[in-house]
Amino acid sequence: MSEKSSFLHVGLTVSDIDRTIEFYKKYFGFELEMKSIFPPDFIGAVPQLYRQKEGTYSHFAFLRSPDGVVLELFQFSNMEAAEQPVWNKPGYHHICLKVASVPETYKKMVADGVEFFFEPKIKIEDGKHWVFFKDPDGNLVELQD
């Protein structure tokens, strides 16, 4: 018998932690729970995990969604350019957020210059809306209502 579990958080590396915090607060009602720094000795204590150069530190923050799921944000002192997720390659490629109205959220975000891949579409299986956009670092986010 497998042990029951619950979802705690999703980790996301970003280029500007404050910009990302404001983005998820503004559009989706996330709340900042904590913001701090992992110093170089913390990052360096597990080099097989972080794989960073000696002396690297990371700002980090916890953002809680209205339903309790947490985004753990990292901003490393030695940022590298982001790569676009590849759907047909193993690995994480997007998160999905539920909103009250995809069309209304879409209109608000487009007016603010957020980049979407397409206009909201209707899902065949349940008649609800869905759409994909890029967050401030180009991470893929799906919206559903």
Q: Could you give the domains of the chain?
A: 1-79 (3.10.180.10), 93-145 (3.10.180.10)
Q: 97 with 65: CB under 8 angstroms?
A: yes
Please enumerate in sequence order all residues whose Cβ is within 8 A of that of 55, keeping only pairs 6 or more positions apart, or say none: 40, 44, 77
Residue 68 has pLDDT above 90, yes or no: yes
- Cα–Cα distance list, 131 to 84, 91, 98, 122, 126 (Å): 18, 21, 11, 9, 15
State the sign of the Cα–Cα–Cα–Cα dihedral 83, 98, 58, 7: negative
**Maximal C-alpha separation, the chain:** 52
Amino acid at 79: M
Instruction: Take residue 142 and report the two structure tokens written for it.
Output: 């799906």
Is 108 in contact with 63 (CB distance < 8 Å)? no
| Partner residues linked to 132 by β-bridges | 142
pTM for the full model?
0.88
Q: Can you say whether residue 141 is alpha, beta or left, with left for phi > 0 and alpha for psi between -120 and 50 degrees?
A: beta
Task: Read off the pLDDT of residues 87-142 as tens digits, 9 standing for 90 and up.
Answer: 778 888 899 999 999 999 999 999 999 999 999 999 888 999 999 999 999 889 99
CA distance 64 to 32: 6
Q: pLDDT category, 47, cuts 50, 70, 90?
A: confident
Confidence at residue 81, expressed as pLDDT on a 0 to 100 scale: 77
Question: Can you give the pLDDT at residue 51?
Answer: 84
